[in-house]
Amino acid sequence: MICCMDKWSKKIDFLLSVIGFAVDLGNVWRFPYICYQNGGGAFLIPYVLMAVFGGVPLFYMELALGQFHRTGAISIWKHICPIFKGIGFAICVIALYVSFYYNTIIAWALFYFYSSFSSTLPWTSCDNAWNTENCTNYFGKDNVTWTNYSRSPAEEFYTRNVLELHESSGLGNVGVIRWQLMLCLFLIFTIVYFSLWKGVKTSGKVVWVTATLPYVVLFILLIRGATLPGAWRGVVFYLQPKWEKLQETSVWVDAAAQIFFSLGPGFGVLLALSSYNPFTNNCYRDAIVTSLVNCLTSFVSGFVIFTVLGYMAEQRHVSVEDVAKNKGPSLLFITYPEAIANMMGSTFFAIIFFVMMITLGLDSTFGGLEAIITAVMDEYPDVLTHRRELFVLGLVVVFFLWSQGGAYVVKLLEEFGVGSSIIAVVFLEATAVSWFYGINRFSNDIKAMLGYTPGLFWKVCWVAISPAFLAVSKYDSLLNPSPLTLFDYRFPDWSITVGYIIGISSFMWIPIYMVYKLVWTPGSLKQVSHVTVDAPKSRSLLTFIQNTLV
């Protein structure tokens, strides 16, 4: 049970916390890029289908599991299927990796926020100490030649002043720690600690600001972007459908991956947050509402980004495709700041933009850390029940110390620390719940909370469709690995090996715990299997499927 029986003060606190977790920086930087890369408006078809048949059912499943069993990602498996308890440990390890790199990105945003308090933004010109002869400022100037060697002031500010990549030779020598970034990281973790140290009663109040403010800023930036010259070019590029793309398997896999990482099942956050709900809370409605908000936010963010990219293309006298090459953090730390620097009222728009980034990041951090806190405290209540403040402080200190690796470590953890591992974990989670715990038992649990059982659609998705789309995504990620690069730096082969070790280090707890459970539980293998796995008693797969759908 939940330590100290903590509960949300209000229903809206829970909803804002879930929305804040699900709507993160990835909605702003990943969805627009994935959308235009995979057919523009045509991409919305596989995106919606993957959301309906894959993402939302898994989202609903986790909210229901957390609310019914009222415990975190580790202890919950005592009630579902004990032999799969290693899934809970794997989830916590993945959450650790996310915290190591994600808060570093928020610290970069805080550094930009501080740097924005200037009448002239420091990434506006090429007259700074960190600039090189390749720095090319084309805004407001005619006959400027842009070559493959040209670098914008915003790019050099990010790579040479913020990250200082020129001081490092790569992952083998990441350079020295910048005290300015370390201070920003310290401030971020200070905010995180005092938001989480008392539990959901404090974090539930903080999200009133961190979950709502980004929408105010998005609306302001959307209006400003729509009034810029050339904005229409960006919108057309963003949404113009390329129907032939729908014939490519990679487009459907990208849609599945995008909706999965956007909604965020498998990170233990939904289990943790919903475990503080009243038993009869309508988790079905919560799943539908929050999923819709998440998807619509991603869609609107595309307009915010691409109106600005259209403006930049107009200023550079190039196509939108030529300025839309940046993805990931570079889109938020180079492309968008570059456009802001050349707008009227640039200081104001820079400040609110990076406030939005900070608040989007903090919401997801709150959720990720709460998942770890709830899971561990529920697993060891006798030790940690009355020591939450100290436990949270210890976690925050560990995260702070391990978040000093810089851009190369961030890229490595982002690629290997989450990626394929979390897809495999959620696949096993969905399989364990639907096939071992049993879809009928799970449906009866939902009926106990809501008064009615889920419909046939949800059962089919949980038993077959959602696990299938996870399996396909996992297969594609293993079959078609993309080269790991950061700007002009290509990660060496040994670092890829390290990356795979990082990925395995989370997933390995699942088979390790299975072996432990089988070895140490008294009785024969058959008896242990009956104790640890409430397997279906159907004699055939067909019979079992028929029974689960009744």
Round to whole Å and give the CA distance between 209 and 215: 10
Q: What are 179's two structure tokens? A: 């005290």
Question: What are the residues facing 410 on neighbouring strands?
Answer: none
The answer to whether residues 262 and 55 touch, using CB atoms and an 8 Å cutoff, is yes
397: annotated binding-site residue?
Answer: no
178 closest CA partner among 270, 231, 254, 111: 111
Q: What is the CA radius of gyration of the chain?
A: 24
| Helices first, then strands: H and E counts in the chain | 29, 2
What b/e sequence results for 50-67 when a residue is b if at least 16 CB atoms lie within 10 Å of its CB, and e otherwise? Answer: bbebbbbbbbbbbbbbbb
20: annotated binding-site residue?
Answer: yes
23: annotated binding-site residue?
Answer: yes
22: annotated binding-site residue?
Answer: yes
148: annotated binding-site residue?
Answer: no
363: annotated binding-site residue?
Answer: yes
In degrees and rounded to multiples of 5, residue 319 shows phi and psi of -80, 160
CA distances from 8 to 72, 203, 370 (A): 15, 10, 13
Give, as one character, the DSSP assignment of residue 483: P
Query: Long-range contact list for 321-328, CB < 8 A, 24+ apart?
Result: 321/237, 324/33, 324/36, 324/237, 327/29, 327/30, 327/33, 328/29, 328/30, 328/33, 328/414
Query: CB-based contacts of 512: which residues, under 8 Å, 6+ apart?
Result: 86
The answer to whether residues 432 and 84 touch, using CB atoms and an 8 Å cutoff, is yes
Round to whole Å and give the CA distance between 203 and 367: 9
Give 487: exposed, middle or buried? Use CB within 10 Å, 0-12, 13-18, 19+: middle
364: annotated binding-site residue?
Answer: yes
Round to whole Å and give the CA distance between 418 and 525: 34
The answer to whether residues 388 and 199 touch, using CB atoms and an 8 Å cutoff, is yes
Summarize the annotated binding site for Na(+) as residue ranges: 20, 22-23, 27, 262, 294, 360, 363-364
Summarize the annotated binding site as residue ranges: 20, 22-23, 27, 262, 294, 360, 363-364
